Amino acid sequence: MGRVYLTGAGPGALELLTIKALRVIRKADVIIYDRLANPEILSEAKDGCEFIYVGKADSHHTLPQDEINELIYQASLKYDIVVRLKGGDPLVFGRGGEEGIYLKQRGVKFEFIPGITSAIAVPEYAGIPVTHRGITVSFRVVTGHEASKNKSQIPWENYKSDDTIIFLMGLHRLKHITEKLLEIGKPKDFPIAVISKGTWAEEKTVIGTLSNIYEKAKDLPTPALIVVGKVVKLHKDLSWFEK
């Protein structure tokens, strides 16, 4: 039985892949990868390595999670080194926990290899610190793509504080997010940023307020990340990556 490495591929830029992730990718017999993993990483695999794509197409999963779990398990029966490669970090909205439990229940040895999460790296590339002395001392990371659209699991009332809020995968819900934040009492001119294709050469940051960001940013290419908080104002002084 093989060993499974539930591996984070980072936010996109190749330089943000960890050295440990690179090592297992080079040794892998099979790499099961998703859409957010930079496909150029695959060129580092050895000859004979098999690549299995399990990411989304057209915003729909090509394989349901239980089939992905089983596919990883079957790969562990066939190969010595199985890499499950995910964008970002495997345990930050990556469903790596579900895959780990499935493997554990079947006696498969696995390791998590953390990836640099886009929640921090993407704002950083946009010159927006998620914390900043004198402005905010904490931040929250929230999925902008909830499993159930009818019944929100997000405790919006808790978001009245001055925490920086980072919404991952939320561009298509941008209008809803801004409406909810206005509903709980955030001011209309509260700063918000949308960062499209963060850490990639095509990165683009749009700065606005809760009242105007939807019109300004709704057509940006995905993937995109949303940052809400006073730290957004630091973008004009700290922007370093975008041309």
Partner 1 sequence: MKKMLFLLFILGATISSLSAREKIFVVERENSALAVIDHNLLVDKIKNMHNFNHAVVKFRDNDGYVITRDGYVIKFDPIHNKKLKEYKTSKSAIGFIIGSNFLAVANYDNKTVEILDRDLNPLQTIKTGSRNVGIKIYKNYLIFELMDSDEIWVMKNENLSKAKAHFVLFKKFKDIGKVPFDAMIHKNLYVAGLFNSPDVGLLNLDTMKYKKIPLNLGRKDRILKVPHFGFWSISKDYFFIPAVGAKKVFVFDHNFKPISAIEVKGNPVFTAMSPNQKWLAVSFSGKDFPYVQIIDTKTFKIMRTFKFDGWILHLRWSKDTPHIYFSVNTKNEVLAYRVSDPDPKKWWKHFMWPVRKPSGIFLFEAPDDYLKKSSKVSH
| Residues classed as catalytic | 34, 56, 169
Within positions 61 to 100, which residues make up the interface with partner 1, using CB under 8 A? 62-63, 87
Strands 109-113 and 204-209: unpaired
The angle subtended at Cα 17 by Cα 14 and Cα 21, nearest 5°, is 135
How far is the C-alpha of 232 from the C-alpha of 190, rounded, in Å?
9
Position among 2, 8, 24, 38 found at the interface with partner 1 (CB under 8 A)? 38
Residue 215 has a CB neighbour count (10 Å cut-off) of 11
Q: Least distance (Å) from partner 1 to the CB of residue 109?
A: 24
Stretch that binds partner 1, among 14-22, 133-141, 145-153, 230-238 (CB under 8 A): 14-22
How far is the C-alpha of 139 from the C-alpha of 55, rounded, in Å?
28
Count of residues that bind partner 1 according to CB under 8 A: 36
Strands 224-228 and 191-196: antiparallel
Strands 60-61 and 56-57: antiparallel
Enclosing H/E stretch for 87? none
Stretch that binds partner 1, among 38-46, 158-166, 170-178, 205-213 (CB under 8 A): 38-46
Binding mask 181-220 for partner 1 (x = CB under 8 A): ----------------x--xxx------------------
Stretch that binds partner 1, among 42-50, 89-97, 139-147, 178-186 (CB under 8 A): 42-50
Position among 3, 20, 27, 51 found at the interface with partner 1 (CB under 8 A)? 51
Q: Least distance (Å) from partner 1 to the CB of residue 220?
A: 12
How far is the C-alpha of 4 from the C-alpha of 68, rounded, in Å?
13
Identity of the residue, 58 or 237, whose beta carbon is nearer to partner 1 in the bound complex: 58
Q: Where are the alpha helices (DSSP H) in the chain?
A: 19-27, 65-78, 96-105, 118-125, 174-183, 213-217, 235-238
Q: Least distance (Å) from partner 1 to the CB of residue 49?
A: 8
Rule CB under 8 A: which residues touch partner 1?
A: 12, 14-15, 19, 22, 35-44, 47-55, 57-58, 60, 62-63, 87, 197, 200-202, 221, 223
